[in-house]
């Protein structure tokens, strides 16, 4: 029986590798209240035109596997009677050593034996270890089938204690107490303010990053804003009228939709830290995500307020409704020329992947500045004005700037460097992960590549030998609009593992349409804030000895 079941799983795996296998991956975009009930999927992505989307699982094979697994494990359920566990107890079972428990509703399951059989791969299931399955099933609606529940039923070991059936709330004296509940898959770099990134194995699973795992970079507590009373204050030109726009007012402007990748200036900072200490959050490769945004164009709103492009340099200053205990709000600015240029497509966005913005991403309105560093995409936007100077905020003038490796905190002169606007060309490997063991034979390398300023990525070179020789990766087929390539390209390379190799030093580097390239190494671009970390991405893996 076990042998038969193994054979079926092996078939699952083969199905996963078939590029042409049609598959549907349903992703529930996060709604404003950020809850994770695996209810009706509201966005459906067809995965059959892209090799990077979704799991390669056929419903037929899954169904067959489920039936076989059902018979294999039904006796187990009959023999054990349910016990009561606390969430704390469940959390302590999150590794093969302690066994791997998960919950669904009020039920507790020990899925240790199933991890290696999980059609999406063991690492995906391990993301839920010690916690609830709902947030992951909400992402991957393929689970919402009766035979999947039947498989799971075989692993049930008990029930959650009644007081643990709803998550505990945060203390109310905490300024962050009102922050939304987040997806447990996020790798948290800081709880307060909340800063988190999707794990590498989920990051490039989809071209569009699902809202619940879109990287989150907050500087302050998340404001809880009432969409009914929300107003955006648009300061008019000298002698002109200011505007106070409700959400309904913003909906009256032509709705503009674009797919845009956002990247934090600190993405991949952890690689700089490895060379020499920097000040900043330890972002790995995940401080970057892509969404489809909709909203009013900033140029339309500025025009309505009577603003015009002027000969002298000017800036549009944004103020968020998030603030610190002294009342200082988050702020940033962009040049007026970009703001007024219809081709630059700067948005006051109120939708993210077809849903109202999630609270963590600026509900009800945020700025989206295509091709520009995340720090200028001000969330919870409360006010905008046109000024002769850049925003005087800390984040515009005393942060988010690049310096020479020779500059330290004793010698830094923040006025000597321009604020980061457009970002340089970037790429990273998301599969395999550093330290992983890959099979001999063939290796699949996957990742993302992106460049600032609307410059399209035209090529990604991948090396398996630390940069001595290179192969050209296959890029996704997503449309790249000339001068408006605002979103990343996902890429992959399938290449033979050179015979006899016990390890691989995998490297990637991207080229954009200005033929800018990434620098070879981190040390010469090191800077005291650890921003702009775009050296070649390097991953070291072991090769599993052939049997």
Residues that bind its own copies (CB under 8 A): 313, 335, 337, 402, 404-407, 417-418, 420-425, 452-453, 458-459, 461, 467, 469-472, 482-483, 509, 511, 513-521, 524-525, 532
Give the integer Cα–Cα distance in Å for 393 and 328: 9
Give the integer Cα–Cα distance in Å for 160 and 84: 6
Residue 410 Cβ vs its own copies, minimum distance, rounded to whole Å: 15
CB-wise, 114 or 395, nearer to its own copies?
395
Residue 424 Cβ vs its own copies, minimum distance, rounded to whole Å: 4
Q: Assess contact for 321 and 380: CB atoms under 8 A.
A: yes
CB-wise, 382 or 452, nearer to its own copies?
452
CB-wise, 354 or 405, nearer to its own copies?
405
Catalytic, out of 217, 292, 376, 459: 217
For tokens 């409700």, what's the residue?
246
**E-strand spans in 38-114?**
43-46, 83-85, 94-95, 99-104, 107-110
Residue 16 Cβ vs its own copies, minimum distance, rounded to whole Å: 28
Cβ count near 68 (within 10 Å)? 17
CB-wise, 251 or 515, nearer to its own copies?
515
Residue 536 Cβ vs its own copies, minimum distance, rounded to whole Å: 8
The answer for residues whose C-beta is within 8 angstroms of residue 330's C-beta and 6 or more apart is 219, 220, 319, 320, 322, 323, 378, 379, 393, 395
Whether 217 is a known active-site residue: answer yes
Nearest to 298 by CA among 262, 258, 268, 325: 258
What 3-state DSSP class applies to 61?
A: helix
Burial environment of residue 162 by CB neighbours within 10 A (0 to 12, 13 to 18, 19 or more): exposed
CB-wise, 221 or 371, nearer to its own copies?
371
CB-wise, 296 or 493, nearer to its own copies?
493
What 3-state DSSP class applies to 84?
A: strand
CB-wise, 321 or 373, nearer to its own copies?
373
Residue 474 Cβ vs its own copies, minimum distance, rounded to whole Å: 12
Residue 335 Cβ vs its own copies, minimum distance, rounded to whole Å: 6
For tokens 């398996």, what's the residue?
464
What 3-state DSSP class applies to 239?
A: coil
Query: What's the CA angle centered on 212, arms 181 and 274, to 5 degrees?
Result: 95
Whether 83 is a known active-site residue: answer no
Residue 538 Cβ vs its own copies, minimum distance, rounded to whole Å: 13
CB-wise, 14 or 471, nearer to its own copies?
471
Catalytic, out of 13, 118, 394, 398: 118
Give the integer Cα–Cα distance in Å for 18 and 48: 11
Cα 441 to Cα 12, 19, 289, 497, 499, distances in angstroms: 20, 18, 32, 5, 8
Catalytic, out of 400, 508, 529, 538: 400
What 3-state DSSP class applies to 198?
A: coil
Catalytic, out of 85, 219, 230, 264: 264
- Rg for the chain (alpha carbons), in Å? 25
Nearest to 375 by CA among 389, 347, 394, 356: 394
Whether 256 is a known active-site residue: answer no
Nearest to 219 by CA among 88, 129, 324: 324
Give the integer Cα–Cα distance in Å for 232 and 224: 15
Residue 440 Cβ vs its own copies, minimum distance, rounded to whole Å: 22
Residue 504 Cβ vs its own copies, minimum distance, rounded to whole Å: 17
Give the integer Cα–Cα distance in Å for 249 and 350: 12
Asked whether the CA dihedral 365, 368, 374, 377 is positive or negative, the reply is negative
Q: DSSP string of 118-173?
A: -TT-HHHHHTTTTSBSHHHHHH-GGG-SHHHHHHHHTTEEEEE-GGGSSPPPPPTT
CB-wise, 103 or 518, nearer to its own copies?
518
Give the integer Cα–Cα distance in Å for 202 and 255: 30
Query: Which residues are known catalytic residues?
Result: 118, 143, 217, 264, 400
């Amino acid at each position: 029986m076990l042998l038969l079941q193994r054979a079926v799983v092996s078939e699952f795996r083969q199905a996963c590798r078939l590029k042409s296998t049609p598959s549907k991956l349903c992703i529930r975009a996060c709604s404003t209240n950020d809850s994770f009930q695996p209810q009706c999927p509201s966005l459906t992505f067809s995965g059959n035109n892209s090799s990077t989307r979704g799991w390669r699982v056929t419903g037929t094979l899954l169904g067959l596997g489920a039936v076989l697994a059902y018979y294999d494990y039904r006796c187990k359920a009959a023999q054990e009677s349910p016990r009561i566990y606390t969430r704390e107890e469940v959390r302590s079972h999150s590794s093969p050593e302690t066994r791997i428990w998960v919950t669904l509703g009020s039920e507790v399951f020990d899925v240790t034996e199933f991890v290696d059989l999980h059609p999406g791969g063991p690492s995906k299931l391990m993301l839920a270890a010690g916690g609830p399955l709902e947030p992951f099933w909400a992402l991957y609606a393929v689970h919402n089938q009766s035979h999947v529940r039947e498989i799971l039923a075989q692993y049930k070991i008990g029930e959650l204690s009644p007081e643990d059936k709803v998550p505990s709330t945060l203390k109310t004296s905490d300024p962050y107490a009102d922050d939304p509940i987040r997806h447990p898959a996020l790798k948290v770099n800081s709880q307060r303010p909340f800063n988190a990134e999707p794990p590498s194995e989920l990051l490039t699973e989809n071209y569009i990053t699902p809202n619940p795992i879109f990287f989150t970079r907050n500087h302050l507590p998340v404001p809880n804003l009432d969409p009914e009373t929300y107003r955006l204050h648009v300061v008019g030109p000298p002698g002109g009228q200011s505007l106070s726009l409700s959400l309904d007012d913003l909906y009256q402007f032509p709705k503009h939709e674009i797919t845009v990748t956002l990247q934090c200036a600190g993405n991949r900072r952890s690689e700089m830290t490895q060379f020499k200490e920097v000040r900043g959050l330890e972002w790995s490769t995940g401080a970057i995500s892509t969404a489809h945004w909709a909203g009013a164009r900033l140029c339309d709103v500025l025009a309505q307020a009577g603003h015009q492009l002027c000969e002298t340099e000017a800036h549009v200053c944004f103020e968020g409704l998030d603030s610190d205990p002294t009342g200082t709000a988050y702020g940033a600015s962009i040049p007026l020329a970009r703001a007024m240029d219809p081709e630059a497509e700067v948005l006051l966005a109120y939708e993210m992947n077809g849903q109202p913005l999630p609270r963590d991403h600026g509900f009800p309105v945020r700025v989206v500045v295509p091709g520009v560093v995340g720090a200028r995409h001000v969330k919870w936007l409360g006010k905008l004005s046109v000024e002769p100077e850049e925003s005087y905020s800390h984040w515009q003038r005393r942060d988010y700037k690049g310096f020479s490796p020779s500059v330290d905190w004793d010698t830094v002169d923040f006025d000597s460097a321009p604020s980061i606007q457009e970002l340089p060309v970037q790429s990273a490997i998301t599969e395999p992960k550093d330290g992983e063991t890959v099979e001999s034979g063939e290796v699949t390398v996957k990742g993302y590549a992106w460049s600032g300023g609307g410059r399209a990525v035209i090529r990604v070179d991948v090396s398996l030998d630390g940069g001595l020789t290179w192969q050209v990766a296959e890029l996704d087929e997503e449309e790249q609009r000339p001068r408006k390539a605002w979103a990343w390209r996902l890429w992959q390379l399938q290449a033979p593992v050179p015979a006899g190799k016990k390890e691989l030093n995998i490297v990637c580097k991207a080229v954009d349409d200005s033929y800018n390239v990434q620098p070879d190494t981190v040390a010469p671009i090191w800077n005291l804030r650890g921003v702009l970390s775009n050296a070649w991405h390097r991953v070291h893996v072991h090769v599993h000895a052939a049997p």
